[in-house]
A and B are shown apart, each in its own frame.
Chain A
Amino acid sequence: MNLKYFLRKLIQSLITIWIVLTISFILFRAMPGDPVSMFVKSDGMDPQVAKALIKEYGLHLPLHSQYLVYIKEMLLGNFGQSFSFQKPVIEIIAQRLPNTIILALGAQIFSIIFGILLGTIAASNRGKKIDVLLLGSALFIYAIPAFWLGIMLLSYFGVRLSLVPLFGMITPGLNHMSKWEYFKDVSQHLILPAMTFGLAITGRYAMIMRGALLDIFTEDYMITAKAKGFDRKYIIRNHALPNAMLPMVTVIAISLGFVVAGAIQTETVFSWPGIGTLTIKALELRDYPLLQGVFLIISLCVISANFIADIIYMYIDPRIKYE
């Protein structure tokens, strides 16, 4: 029964991926402008050379044959050659993806800890000053655009206090003697971007956590627990929190999928060499194969995160039975 459910979800995910592939193909070609016209104008390329390049890239073929080639290559796992980097797309993404994952993980750990903590504090002090304060600041931080928050954090912690490096992933010009030194250098560079990215999600997690807890507080079993004479803290810890984790897991799983895409602003502010900055570059250069590759990776992340959330939900919530 569970296997059936699993398979159904899997097939749904695969169909979604195919639709994403097709849409991204159509979308990027419907976009006005082509990669070669850019070269002619901004870099003074010889128009003859430009024409030869269009042929080389296969852009002179009719759309439907481009599509067939595209699907065939995708099935073979060949994402094509990037126009601008002259390298296989898969190699480029493979180099960038880990950087984004490091950033996303740092941000997620930060925001899960603080989000749950703040949400719990706010909920257990409902209506009091601290609740208003926490809720207000959570909303505020959630609403702040990441690029602005990033610049503010950067100019305070980086420039004024000189505590942390401002940009990039490693210190330029530093020769890393050992793996540990490299790890330390990257970790230092991670602090600000992870904080910036994490703060925004923290606000959201805190609000969801608070909402979930408040719902649970009205449940009958909470009153029962109270009637049994348990300590308030004990009730929150052992009765409310585990139940409130249910919606949190879904939100966290889904947002894990989106972080790869959502890191664009943060990566830009801190010049973090991840998927976000790569996407912008590919878009500017009309690098179709790279764009398709990046979009596929982003969609894969979102789709698989949803898939995983569905599966986890099945286990975590014994009340729900699937046919």
Chain B
Amino acid sequence: MTFLNYLINGISLGSVYAIIALGYTMVYGIAKMLNFAHGDVIMVGAYISFIITSKMGLPAIVSVLAAVVVCTLLGIFIERLAYKPLRNATSLAVLITAIGVSYFLQNSALLIWGSDPKSFNSIVDFDSIKLFDGQLVITAEAIVTVCACIIIMIALTIFTGHTKMGKAMRAVSEDKGAAQLMGINVNSTISMTFAIGSALAAIAGVLLCSAYPTLLPTTGSMPGIKAFTAAVFGGIGSIPGAMIGGILLGVIEVFASAYISDKLSNAIVFGVLIIVLLVKPTGLLGRKINEKV
């Protein structure tokens, strides 16, 4: 029964990673860049939600919506200001800029909200489900997180597969130049990608802090890196890959800390990543990239 408990915790944590990983993977797929500031957008989302529920006393749903709106705008703003001028620059320049944006967001948060940890109130206010005489506990947060993850996955699949903007995104991810010549506005497509990624980051931030309620300016960085790992694990650029990678990573992390060592869990998670990449360099669902000769 403890095994099942761990499994549920792992899936719940993994769902948060998956939602964050979707942002990494979509941005990578379309703009061909690693947005290392993505983890810090999560933190901003969590702070916004915290202020609205704890300081202003408004209902949780309002705080989630506000976090989504603020992060969406923040994502678009970051892309316009920091990444768009570097559209034709080397990928290293863009990468360093992304790290810069990440530090900028962390330190801005430090300046605005201070360094003392905030205690985040869960946005979910119904009780945990207890089964088998209380041996199996499914927390309300876990239920909400997994449901959110499933809904997001279905919505994104429909979006990328069946909408005009989604099809444009797929076209841009394959060949930016050819997509432009099909009348697709690449700039607005990239903006849209950042908007969606950042909106998902806001949701992930709220869900993450509901389960792990300590909120700091650096809250987003470790989950951000884990989610990036998950995206690579599943095959960066692939939406189902990010989903599977995220959930697997969460489960491995929880199992590793439960059965092997709490302190070694992160090392084990990254160790698994290294092994997967050695065996399958494109990740679990990554497409093979044909080298140009």
Q: Do A and B bind each other?
A: no
- State the B residues within 8 Å of A (CB): none
- State the A residues within 8 Å of B (CB): none
